[in-house]
Amino acid sequence: MDNTIKPFKVHVSDADIADLKQRLQLTRWPDQIPNTEWRYGAKTDYIQQLCDYWQHHYDWRKHEARLNQFAQFTTGIDAHDIHFIHARSQHANAVPLLISHGWPGTIVEFLNVIDPLINPEAHGGKAEDAFHVVCPSLPGYGFSGTTQREQVDTLAMAEMFAELMARLGYDKYIAQGGDWGAIITSNLAIVDADHLYGIHLNMPFGYALTEDPHEGLSPQEIDDVNAMNSFEAMETGYQKIQGTKPQTLGVGLNDSPAGLCAWITEKFYTWMDCDGDIESVLDKDELLTNISVYWYTQSICSSTRLYYEVTQNARLKFLEQPVTVPVGVARYPKEVMRFPRQWCENVYSQIVQWQDFERGGHFAAMERPAEFLAEIRKFRALMCE
């Protein structure tokens, strides 16, 4: 595996674009019981509308160009080609920032915040808010390509990202993440603690130490725990199949763009703070660009295998020993996992920043970019005074 850092440019062939449109044209749609909306899963007529737009109106070339506005590279680490955006600020005092996405996200989650992070003065910030941004595609996701061996889990990814930051020459940095990115970042706080100013999470983890898990919790925190229990009961079917038989699921999702669209869009609908109207938060183009990355890279099956690796191996170092680096937390009301602060303090021993927001869900950088930026800048000031 070549460990040099090579420039990378996103380019999808005309043949692949034509193939997508033909597959969309040939979709065989299921029926749906009238007036059931999203209760049985993806709402069929909305997915039909979205796929019709994807086939006839969505312009991949436009969004490909947007992806390519940022310098991108690949480098070989642990037998994997890791793809990453590396957007450097012009400011000499800029702080390196590693930002990691989750599932079913991609680097597309961060497209609205990268320029404000590296060029803060053009976006309401100050020069001292500047970052050098490193935004990798998770191994097995998007332009990092598919995984080719077992046990490429969140610990392996944390170790790869630590090597990536070292290879880029960053001796000290901040790491940020949500969803899988939060787990990778938490593992990173164990395996690369000496090189971290701190970590920032929008989905921190925790657990109760008391026999009664509600002991010492506020009414709102009890509601949060009950909501997590409800999520576990009603919204984790995808985890069960992806954590046990991802290859079976992958046959359908890798072959049918409509199936892929439904599988991913339903998660955005359910996990965002959108009041039942997905396009009140993200427009069709944003949704489809994220989905298109999975489609054109044929990485959906590989991405779901991460659930299997974690389910079967559970190498979550941050739950086995305390995270001692400074931690910042941003919590959004529609986040799927909202652990009480006292539970999180059993995992992260030095929480130095904690902010609860009134709006927002699972995809913080996409849904609430201004608040996301403000939180990261505040954490930077705290860590790098």
Per residue in 121-138, is it b (16+ CB within 10 Å) or e — as a string? Answer: eeeebeeebbbbbbbbbb
Q: Give Cβ neighbours of residue 210 (< 8 Å, ≥ 6 apart).
A: 216
Binning pLDDT at 50, 70 and 90, where does residue 193 land?
Answer: very high
- Does 11 qualify as catalytic in the annotation? no
Pairing of strands 196-201, 351-356: unpaired
Domains: count for the chain: 1
- The enclosing domain of 296 has a CATH number of 3.40.50.1820
Question: What range does the domain containing 42 cover?
Answer: 5-383
Length of the chain: 385
Q: Which of 58, 197, 307, 348 is catalytic?
A: 307
From the list 373, 380, 375, the residue with the least C-alpha distance to 117 is 373
Pairing of strands 131-136, 196-201: unpaired
* Residue 338 near residue 331, CB atoms below 8 Å: yes
Q: What is the mean pLDDT of the chain?
A: 97
| 153, amino acid identity | D
Structure tokens at 273: 């703070």
Instruction: Return the beta strands (E) in the chain as ranges.
Output: 5-8, 72-77, 80-87, 95-100, 131-136, 173-177, 196-201, 327-331, 351-356
Give the pLDDT confidence of 207-264 residue by residue, as tens digits: 999 888 899 999 999 999 999 999 999 999 999 999 999 999 999 999 999 999 999 9
Q: Give Cβ neighbours of residue 279 (< 8 Å, ≥ 6 apart).
A: none
In this predicted structure, the answer to whether residue 6 has a pLDDT above a threshold of 90 is yes
Q: Which of 179, 192, 224, 285 is catalytic?
A: 179
Give the pLDDT confidence of 17-38 residue by residue, as tens digits: 999 999 999 999 999 999 999 9
What does the pLDDT read at residue 292? 99
Binning pLDDT at 50, 70 and 90, where does residue 1 land?
Answer: low
Binning pLDDT at 50, 70 and 90, where does residue 131 land?
Answer: very high
Single pTM value for the model: 0.97
Strand partners, 135: 85
Query: What are the distances in angstroms from CA 55 to CA 31, 143, 377?
Result: 21, 22, 39
Structure tokens at 244: 């046990």
* Residue 325 near residue 350, CB atoms below 8 Å: yes
* Average confidence (pLDDT) over 61-89: 98
Q: For residue 325, give the 3-state DSSP assignment.
A: coil
- Does 285 qualify as catalytic in the annotation? no
- Does 179 qualify as catalytic in the annotation? yes
From the list 118, 134, 23, the residue with the least C-alpha distance to 83 is 134
